Amino acid sequence: MSRSLVAGAGLVALLTACSGPTKRDAVTTTPDPAATSPARDAALAEVARLKALADADPITAPYVGPYGGVPAWDQVKTAAFPAAFTTALALFAAEVDAIAQDPAPATFANTLAALEDSGRHQGRVEALFGVMTQNMNSADVQAIDREWAPKIAAAYDKLFFNERLFARLAAVYAARDTSGLTAEQRRLVGIRYDRFVLSGAKLSPTQKLQLGAINQELAGLFTDFGNKVLADENTWIVLDKPADLAGLSDSMRAAYQAAASERKLDGTWAVVNTRSSVDPFLASSSRRDLREQVWKAFKNRGDNGGANDTNATIARIVKLRAERAALLGYPSHAHWRMADTMAKDPEQARALMLRVWPAAVARVGEEVADMQAIANKEKAKIKIEAWDYLYYGDKVRKAKYDLDQAEIKPYFELDNMVQAAFWMADQLYGLSFTEITGKVPVFHPDVRVWEVKDRASGSFVGLFYGDYFAREGKRSGAWASGYQEHETFTGVVRTPIATNNNNFVRGAAGEPVLISLDDAETLFHEFGHGLHSLLSEVNYPGLSNTPRDFVEYPSQVHEQWVLTRPVLDRFAKHYQTGKPMPQTLVDKVEASSKFNQGYGTVEYLSSAIVDMALHTDPKGVVDADRFERETLTAIGAPSTVVMRHRLPQFNHLFTSDSYSAGYYSYLWSEVMDADTREAFAEAGDVFHKPTAAKLRTYILEPGNATDRAEAYRQFRGRDPDVKALLKKRGFPIK
């Protein structure tokens, strides 16, 4: 569950149509000779003036160049972002004003379509700056982020609070069933209207002032939280003598040595305080004292007192969220945040989590007992603690299944697995990927780029950017984002530009980068997000973003192809012998596939349950450390498994509103994922063409243009069966 999701969170996500950069702009706010007014004429003049400025700025200008246009990273300078934000936000405001001031009766074309076509320059500057904050978060970038995050929040509030604009939107909404709109257009109207209401469009002027102040303060706090966690992640544990490397493979030693050299610590080895560096150490190191030291440093990110402590930031965020929910008429932040999700309300999400929780806790007890037995047999004279779980878990795996993780890693070379993901996309959906790195500008030399085409027709589909390695200034984890989504409504087909971001540890110079099975599944997971974007056939950008508890489904389901025989035979080849992974080893992996599911499930679910409990408190008065401890005690969480993301470092929750009261969505999506795997199993073919075609048609192509629950029923012929999830995780089916 280390996968993060698509960029574009918070207020920008609420205004999905304004978040998509384009190849060529076609502003639809041109004057209607029969409907002019001095105010509208002035607004249109301001649009023309500001657009000329924005079109000349490489940060905000429409994408130009090959492949339908690409971000001009070769011309982007950090110091230029403040000016770009200034122009783009002013242009966006003028575009909105021109729509609001239109004296003609409100229609879909002059209100909804015009709104869809506005904010494109602002969308581009936010997309590029989002890449900076995620991948190159220097002190200069952080300073700009601190200054501009509240200003951007205020700009979107100004949009949502615009009474003339909302009146026009409400008029189109009221007439949506009698004005000859298509089903897709009616859905867009409904989604837009609901998002305006959720964002405070119906509040009184005084309440809007209150809400605006809350949103602006939250924007600053989100930036503050992320920067503090990043600062704690930019630390490391130094291993300064060969004895500290006990249990580590040669490839791991080389990776830690490379990390030390990168930090000018020649002659030593460094375990960087990020998951991609920490987890392999915890699983392999036979030095229990160092495992404890590394584990505590990682789990205490943001919780060490001092300048980077996030507890006070969390308390303020939670309080402000509760105040905002009350202002908008909701019982809690969770009720407000879940209003446009599949689950609809916190009880539905909680019910699913608590159905799985008892079996997961029971399984942890069994797993720990097996570990303790091995520790006792080895006369280790220890009681299994959280920092022992991965290490002794591997010992149990070896004892029960004759499987050592070190046996698997040599078969998963990073470049091979990237190509494996592309081959999967070809087999399922007929896509071809041709590398064009060096032909388009990128923001860092590590970034690779591929042109994506439909293999049968040869038609251009989009671009795919991959940024695979950890480095200073890049946030931890793995995530998908994008520069541009598919759309057609202006008469110009705009094709997707999707990105994947990982934090794999680079090996020594000239050595292959070997990744774990979990890393390979993470790579396929994020690539699933990329496929969701690349295969989109959405006409309106406002229908690109699916509900939060659906969006992980297309990514999770694509993990299943990593261990399929066709993929293994072609791509899981031993980096030394060149031979594919033998079936005997695959059988061991599959036999152990339910192994440590107690650990993985409790680690994830404890985070999701704490998140939901935190955000269903109507008062929002919280001490994060105490709340975390008391909630975990109340649900009987085992001490040997700590939350995957403790509150002080829980970026999902506190760097935006995006996943707040929404971390449950991985489990909600996994119900559909597990049931979809059953569909391929029932077909008897992992690349069953008819099933893949239905998955593409109903799940991947429509975005949010159709109801997602109905879309699943169209794909599967029924609602998803939660029993498939329990079966996948190896828990009793009741």
pLDDT tens-digit readout, 534-570: 999 999 999 999 999 999 999 999 999 999 999 999 9
Residue 460 has pLDDT above 90, yes or no: yes
Q: What is the DSSP secondary structure assignment for residue 478, as one 8-state letter?
A: B
Question: Which among 87, 337, 117, 66 is positioned nearest to 218, based on CA atoms?
Answer: 337
Residue where one domain finishes, among candidates 253, 274, 299:
299
Whether residues 420 and 283 fall in one domain: no
The whole-angstrom separation of Cα 511 and Cα 502 is 19
Residue 585 has pLDDT above 70, yes or no: yes
Model confidence band, residue 675 (pLDDT cutoffs 50, 70, 90): very high
51 lies in some domain: yes
The whole-angstrom separation of Cα 51 and Cα 28 is 13
**What is the per-residue pLDDT for 32?**
56
Place of tokens 């918070």: 10
Whether residues 136 and 83 fall in one domain: yes
Residue 291 has pLDDT above 80, yes or no: yes
The boundaries of the domain holding residue 271 are 235-299
Place of tokens 């995957």: 644
Whether residues 290 and 152 fall in one domain: no
Residue 424 has pLDDT above 90, yes or no: yes
Whether residues 437 and 293 fall in one domain: no
Residue where one domain finishes, among candidates 259, 284, 299:
299
Provide mean pLDDT across the span 207-223.
Answer: 98
Domains in the chain, number:
3
293 lies in some domain: yes
Residue 22 has pLDDT above 50, yes or no: no
The whole-angstrom separation of Cα 3 and Cα 692 is 23
Q: What is the CATH number of the domain that holds 17?
A: 1.10.1370.40
Whether residues 491 and 574 fall in one domain: yes
Residue 506 has pLDDT above 90, yes or no: no
393 lies in some domain: no
Whether residues 479 and 537 fall in one domain: yes
Residue 331 has pLDDT above 90, yes or no: yes
- In the numeric block, which tokens belong to residue 43? 């607004």
The whole-angstrom separation of Cα 166 and Cα 197 is 9
218 lies in some domain: yes
The neighbour count for residue 577, using CB atoms within 10 Å, is 9
**What is the per-residue pLDDT for 558?**
98
98 lies in some domain: yes
Q: Which residues are catalytic?
A: 526
Whether residues 178 and 254 fall in one domain: no
Whether residues 455 and 587 fall in one domain: yes
Residue 1 has pLDDT above 80, yes or no: no
H or E segment and range at residue 236: strand 236-239
**What is the per-residue pLDDT for 35?**
65
Model confidence band, residue 266 (pLDDT cutoffs 50, 70, 90): very high
- Average pLDDT over the chain reads 93
Question: Number of H helices and number of E strands within the chain?
Answer: 30, 7
Whether residues 243 and 220 fall in one domain: no
Q: What are all long-range contacts of 248-257, with beta carbons under 8 Å and residues at least 24 apart?
A: 248/281, 248/284, 248/285, 249/284, 249/406, 249/409, 251/409, 251/507, 251/511, 251/514, 252/280, 252/281, 252/284, 254/507, 254/508, 254/511, 255/505, 255/506, 255/507, 255/508, 256/281, 257/508
Residue 638 has pLDDT above 70, yes or no: yes
Altogether, the residues listed in the chain come to a count of 734
Q: Where are the beta strands (DSSP E) in 410-567?
A: 431-435, 448-454, 460-469, 479-484, 497-504
Please provide residue 575's backbone torsions phi and psi, each rounded to the nearest 5 degrees: -65, -15
611 lies in some domain: no
Whether residues 219 and 257 fall in one domain: no
Whether residues 109 and 194 fall in one domain: yes
Whether residues 245 and 224 fall in one domain: no
pTM of the model: 0.92
Residue 515 has pLDDT above 50, yes or no: yes
The neighbour count for residue 317, using CB atoms within 10 Å, is 26
479 lies in some domain: yes
Exposure of 509 by Cβ count < 10 A (0-12 exposed, 13-18 middle, 19+ buried)? exposed
Tens digits of residue pLDDT in 77-94 = 999 999 999 999 999 999
Residue where one domain finishes, among candidates 573, 591, 609:
591
The whole-angstrom separation of Cα 341 and Cα 708 is 10
CB 543 within 8 A of CB 566: no
Q: Name which of 24-28, 262-266, 383-387 the model is least confident about.
A: 24-28
Exposure of 262 by Cβ count < 10 A (0-12 exposed, 13-18 middle, 19+ buried)? middle
H or E segment and range at residue 239: strand 236-239
280 lies in some domain: yes
Euclidean distance between the first and final Cα of the chain, in Å? 25
